[in-house]
Amino acid sequence: MSLHEITDQQFQAEVLEAKELVLVDFWAPWCGPCRMMAPTLEKVAGQFAGQLKVVKVNVDSNQEWASKFSVRGIPALFFFRAGQPVDNAVGVQSEASLVQRIEKLLATVA
């Protein structure tokens, strides 16, 4: 599957050095809206396999990168390209909204 959990120590290699577009889900196990997003994230990870990498960062045990990107609310979805954040959204996103956002970002690849 294209979706997996990473730690602060893996963030550099998994996200910032990735060749493809990366969607980072900053979440926590106690967060109800985060759990609501999980099936949608799994679905888009499969739908865009090979074009998009989807990773999850548990903010309870991995606070470094959440702090660096000023994550204040969860779920927080950040899109990265070439090591830079290119888009983000906070809160539950519908599948249609997320797919539209991903397609737009993929279409703008130089």
38 is catalytic: no
Q: Does 110 score more than 60 pLDDT? A: no
Query: Counting Cβ atoms within 10 Å, is residue 108 exposed (0-12), middle (13-18) or buried (19+)?
Result: exposed
Choose, from 31, 90, 92, 106, the residue flagged as catalytic. 31
Residue 1's pLDDT is 46
> For residue range 31-67, what is the model confidence (pLDDT) as tens digits?
999 999 999 999 999 999 999 999 999 999 999 999 9
Residue 2's pLDDT is 65
Choose, from 15, 22, 24, 34, the residue flagged as catalytic. 34
69 is catalytic: no
Q: State pTM to two decimals.
A: 0.93
Q: Does 86 score more than 50 pLDDT? A: yes
Delineate the domains of the chain, giving CATH numbers in brackets: 3-107 (3.40.30.10)
Q: Does 96 score more than 70 pLDDT? A: yes
Q: Which long-range contacts (CB under 8 A, 24 or more apart) does 4-7 make?
A: 4/55, 4/56, 5/55, 5/56, 5/57, 5/58, 6/55, 6/56, 6/57, 6/62, 7/57, 7/61, 7/62
- Read off the pLDDT band of 92 (50, 70, 90): very high
Q: What is the mean pLDDT of the chain?
A: 93
